[in-house]
Structure 1
Amino acid sequence: MIEVLDFIGVFVFAISGVLTAINKKLDLFGVFIIAFVTALGGGTLRDTLIGRTPVGWMQDVNYVYLILIAYIVAILFRNYLNKLRISLFLFDTIGLGVFTLIGIEKGLAFGLHPIICIALGTITATFGGLIRDILCNEIPLLLQKGTIYATICIIGGLVFFILRKVGLEDSVNELITSILIIVVRLGAVRYNWSLPVLQIKP
């Protein structure tokens, strides 16, 4: 199930990148590049940091095919995708939860400290969008008030290791953690949750 949701997340993140690039009036090659880095940027950075080379998508070309399909679909149906924004948001949210877990599991496979594993999970889930926004000359959504992307991933990672410490079965732990991330993300958007904004008095 994690692998299936991973592919869904990659597909939806790629579509997100295509739509962003089209709105920025990039050419067809530029649109593909933005789609690619949005979908795989976080995982590529994670694998590079932990020395897992060749990185994941180089070992499984299906990821490239999937992005290419998403690229073509998004271009052909770009005028209709606005009607599906809620559905895309839900899949994007699922991807956030799944990618966080995938990053954590990769860290555990390398025997890394839980704090590093949580950082890897956060990088996997959020840095593709961060790179996309930087390349498109936007203030990264990750850093904007009201999104708390990284905070949600960190909370999910902490819950994962707490449940792991008490001996909960891995599959149940992954399910609970991913649901928690999804619910908190939906709540953050619905109720406009955000971290405090600091100000300097004149």
Structure 2
Amino acid sequence: MLHVLYLVGVSAFAASGVLAAHRANMDPFGGLALAFAASISGGTLRDLMLNRHPLYWTHDWVLLTVIMGVGVATIAYLRFWQLPQRSLLVVDATGLAVVTVIGARAAIDSDVTPLAVVIFGVITGVTGEVIRDVLCGEFPPLLLREDVYATAAAAGAALYLALDAAGVSDEPNAALSAGLVFALRIAAVYFGLHLPRPHGNRPDRTA
């Protein structure tokens, strides 16, 4: 179940990489490069930090095939049709939700502390987006432009950790936790949801 869920997550990030490349006027090779960068960067960094070898994607041909297939299909689609304006943000939210949960599961399996589980969930979820945006020349990346991004990932990872500690099985736990991340991120996109912001340091209008 979790492997299937992971394929969904990396597929979403692969599509988001191609969409970002398309928006940056890159060629198809650039689109495929961003598809792979967005899909595997978070898990790669997580595995390196947890000293998990070999890296998960180096021996999973299904995963690499899915990334390639989704990347090529998205490139072909964009040659004939335009996606809705916010499609990149929605696809990105899907990848963030799923990959965050997978990162939390990997950290739990590595027997790290509860706080580290949340941190690794966030790292796994957001790293691909950061790499994608930097390669596209977008600065600051989405992570630093949107306060309900890493926050959404942290909330989902924390929920996954709590439900796992309570004995909830992986399938409903993953669905609920990923659903929370997705809901928070989509609410931020469509309804302007954000964290409370300080009211000080406002510009002096009398100046």
Question: What TM-score comes out, normalization by structure 2 length?
Answer: 0.84
Cα displacement (A) at 1:102? 0.8
Please state whether the residue corresponding to 1:194 is helix, strand or coil. Answer: coil
When residues 82 and 119 of structure 1 are mapped into structure 2, their CA distance, relative to the original with a 3 A threshold, is farther
Distance in 2 between the 1:87 and 1:142 partners? 17
- Can you list the C-alpha shifts for 1:63-102, whole angstroms capped at 9, x where unaligned? 2211211221122111455336667755543332221111
Cα displacement (A) at 1:197? 5.0
Q: Give the superposed CA RMSD.
A: 2.4
Aligned length: 201
Q: Is the 8 A contact 1:44 1:55 kept in 2?
A: yes
Q: Is the 8 A contact 1:37 1:128 kept in 2?
A: yes
Unaligned 5+ runs, structure 1: none
Q: Is the 8 A contact 2:117 2:161 kept in 1?
A: no
Distance in 2 between the 1:180 and 1:171 partners? 14
Distance in 1 between the 2:174 and 2:201 partners? 41
When residues 103 and 131 of structure 1 are mapped into structure 2, their CA distance, relative to the original with a 3 A threshold, is same
When residues 39 and 200 of structure 1 are mapped into structure 2, their CA distance, relative to the original with a 3 A threshold, is same
Cα displacement (A) at 1:134? 0.8
Q: Is the 8 A contact 1:5 1:94 kept in 2?
A: no
Q: Which residue of 2 aligns with 1:26?
A: 26
Cα displacement (A) at 1:47? 0.9
Q: Identity rate of aligned residues, in percent?
A: 34
Distance in 2 between the 1:163 and 1:70 partners? 32
Q: Which residue of 1 aligns with 2:37?
A: 37
Q: Which residue of 2 aligns with 1:2?
A: 2
Distance in 2 between the 1:10 and 1:66 partners? 8
Question: What TM-score comes out, normalization by structure 1 length?
Answer: 0.86
Please state whether the residue corresponding to 1:112 is helix, strand or coil. Answer: coil
Distance in 2 between the 1:15 and 1:93 partners? 12
Moved over 4 A (4+): 84-91, 196-202
When residues 40 and 25 of structure 1 are mapped into structure 2, their CA distance, relative to the original with a 3 A threshold, is same
